[in-house]
Amino acid sequence: MRALRLGTRRSKLAMAQSGQVAERIRRLTGRSVELVEVVTTGDISREHLTAIGGTGVFVSALRDELLAGRIDLAVHSLKDLPTAQPPELALAAVPGRADPRDALVARDGLTLEALLRAGAADGSGRPARVGTGSPRRMSQLHVHARSLGCEITTVPIRGNVDTRIGYVRAGELDAVVLASAGLHRVGSEEAITDLLDPDTVLPAPGQGALAVECVASRDDLVAELGRLDDPPTRIAVTAERALLSALEAGCSAPVAALADHREDEPGTTVLHLRGAVGTTDGATSMQLSTTGPVPASDGEATARADRMGRDLAAEMLAKGAAGLMGERAQ
């Protein structure tokens, strides 16, 4: 039996997470897997993501390779995956989720609160300069800074993990904010100076989770890859992505969501979903939450999670969320 061709972006992070999925496939199925590097527009363009179509640009080239039959499966960061699933492609597996939180990499080993109170490194009294390419992070960082009576300067940046950390080590920025999961996947977790509690910075929908995609008509492969699926993770991210979809917001909009399973009573599990939107400068923001029981059947639980996400989005829209996002899906 020939090796499965796993398409991946060529970045250090993409190669690392694809390699981890490939190893799991080998262990679970006995199939050999080879990585096939695919260059995407997002990898070669230096423009800001919002100018080239948002994080979805990382996905389209891989999907083209799948549909052309040049690869058998693709691995995506789930937070980059558009919420509309093409019928010809199957989301065959959502493996167990890594830590969904954001992480701070700051000068002098500072926590976020210490950094905000200390300001810029030059002693000028100016606000700390924090780099991120995410409008969602920008919005919430400004909100948190103001809650402490501080100011912050957010700086739009792009580049891989090493490049972004390099801005701090070179003294160009006081800190950068990255996904904790990505830092761990590339072995750079020692650079983390603070893990940001979701009460401070709520993560992106699907953050920390991966998506394994293949052509829907390949039933045997869909079933084979389905062995990697983690039902609790899929249920949680279904709620988060349903909220994002119902808000009609793209992956680059300042929308945050996190769902987690909690024990309500002994033997009773509920899903708690939080959603947030806000202007990029943090001047106006909104965060709402909802909780609902998780049915025993995975299929019913996923459907319930989807409804929870859409209902919470409807509540947010009724309270004016559309005017805060700044970006609407086209």
Length of the chain, in residues: 330
pLDDT of residue 309: 98
Q: Give the residue numbers annotated as catalytic, written as ranges.
A: 80
Asked if residue 114 is part of any domain, the answer here is: yes
Asked if residue 330 is part of any domain, the answer here is: no
Residues 24 and 72 grouped into a single domain? yes
pLDDT of residue 273: 98
Asked if residue 184 is part of any domain, the answer here is: yes
Domain membership of residue 63 as a residue range:
1-96+209-229
Residues 31 and 168 grouped into a single domain? no
Can you say how many angstroms the Cα of residue 1 is from the centroid of all Cα atoms in its chain? 35
pLDDT of residue 66: 97
pLDDT of residue 330: 29
pLDDT of residue 296: 85
Domain count, the chain: 3
Give pTM, 2 decimals. 0.91
Positions of the chain with pLDDT under 70 = 40-56, 250-251, 326-330
Residues 81 and 223 grouped into a single domain? yes
pLDDT of residue 250: 67
Long-range contacts of 244-247 (CB under 8 A, 24+ apart): 244/83, 244/205, 244/309, 244/313, 245/83, 245/84, 245/309, 245/310, 245/313, 246/309, 246/310, 246/313, 246/314, 246/317, 247/277, 247/313, 247/316, 247/317, 247/321, 247/322, 247/325
CATH number at residue 215: 3.40.190.10
Nearest to 213 by CA among 63, 68, 14: 63
pLDDT of residue 231: 96
Rounded Cα gap, residues 319 and 241, in angstroms: 20
The structure tokens 């992956």 sit at 251
Residues 84 and 114 grouped into a single domain? no
CATH number at residue 313: 3.30.160.40
CB 105 within 8 A of CB 180: no
pLDDT of residue 249: 74
pLDDT of residue 268: 79
pLDDT of residue 151: 96
